[in-house]
Structure 1
Amino acid sequence: MDFENIKELINIINSSDLAYFELKSNDDYIKMDKSLTRTSDNNAEKKEASIPVKEEATKEKNDSKENKSKNTVEEVIDENSLIITSPMVGTFYSSPSPDSEAFVKEGDYVKKGKVICIIEAMKLMNEIESNYDGNIVKCFVKDGDMIEFGQKLFEIKED
């Protein structure tokens, strides 16, 4: 690999959200680790910036919902509805196994603490729980879909 390609690769990785990158190709070996340069303050700012607020009136309600949430970020879309988004990158599973029924379907009523899906990340199965009581209005992803951080998962209409 020539020097210009290495410089370009460094710029790409540096501008991405990747914390660690390793490349082995023929006789070439490149390893980049920028996890030591990141702080938890940067991650908090990214999460805060990922919540779009549509109106000033919903901002206060949105802030209180974000503080209640432990594993997801929500976006208020009207007075009683909000969007539950993915807290991580991974694979979305709607049920605990391929033979099982989905945790929730559109129209289902869920209580706070009920598992609504699983996101597999780095071979770990992460159960995502509802932080609210309400009806599932819409599911934005399908079983087995690859999802990104902040991607819409469910719309829930709160009681």
Structure 2
Amino acid sequence: MDCKEIYELIKLIDSSQLAYFELKDKDFYVKMDKSYHRENVERVEKEHKAYVTENNSKPCDVKLEEALDLNQKASDSEQGNFECIVSPMVGTFYITPGPDKEPFVSIGDKVKKGKVICIIEAMKLMNEIESEVDGEIIEILVQNGNMVEYGEPLFKIRK
């Protein structure tokens, strides 16, 4: 593959709903990963570098996973009283019941406990995920069509 073909492949994958792509050939190998976790890792690293620069301090020896937890806790206290709805399984996240359909929920929507808020497809089965609390959707943490892992946060809901 030449540079132009690689660039076109990157644009195609970036505009798709694929979270992960891997291609192997005789003398060529490319891997692209757009997963939620990787985005958070990059964001935390960037914020940490900016903090160190602004405050003329030394970089800390906190492991990246711990930094993500600390960052999430700080964000939680700023947002107020809310709960995260997490994925109960590994699969593909869908915010709509089907193509060309309206989303189950949007940011700002009020939801009641038991309302279907998304679908996770696992092993060709569509699993409806219900809200665990009454409240307001303040953030949707996963893009439609992305893969999710067990325990991965999907929504923030203000109680």
TM-score normalized with structure 1 length = 0.50
Relative to structure 1, is the Cα distance of residues 76 and 117 closer, same or farther in structure 2, using a 3 angstrom cutoff? Answer: farther
- Residues 76 and 91 (structure 1), Cα distance of their counterparts in 2 relative to 1, 3 Å cut: farther
Aligned: 1:93 with 2:94:
yes
Change (3 A) 1:76 1:127: farther
Q: CA deviation at 1:80?
A: 2.3
For 1:25-40, what aligned pairs fall within 5 Å after superposition? none
Alignment match, 2:114: 113
SS at match of 2:84: strand
RMSD over aligned Cα, in angstroms?
Answer: 2.5
Unaligned runs of 5+ in 1: 1-51, 55-74
Q: Within 5 A, what are the aligned runs for 1:60-79? A: none
Are residues 1:140 and 2:144 paired?
no
The answer to which structure has the higher strand fraction is: 1
Q: TM-score normalised to the size of structure 2?
A: 0.50
Amino acid at match of 2:104: F
Deviations 1:9-57 (A, max 9, x none): xxxxxxxxxxxxxxxxxxxxxxxxxxxxxxxxxxxxxxxxxxx9x6xxx
Q: Structure 1 residues 107 and 151 mapped into 2: Cα distance closer, same or farther (>3 Å)?
A: same
Size of the aligned set, in residue pairs, is 89
Among all aligned residue pairs of Structure 1 and Structure 2, give the percentage whose two residues are the same amino acid. 59
**1:76·1:83 contact (CA, 8 Å) conserved in 2?**
no
Long gaps (5+) in structure 2: 1-69
Q: 1:127 to 1:77 in 2, by over 3 A?
A: farther
Q: Secondary structure at the match of 2:107?
A: coil
- Which of 1 and 2 has higher RCO (CA within 8 Å, sep 6+)? 2
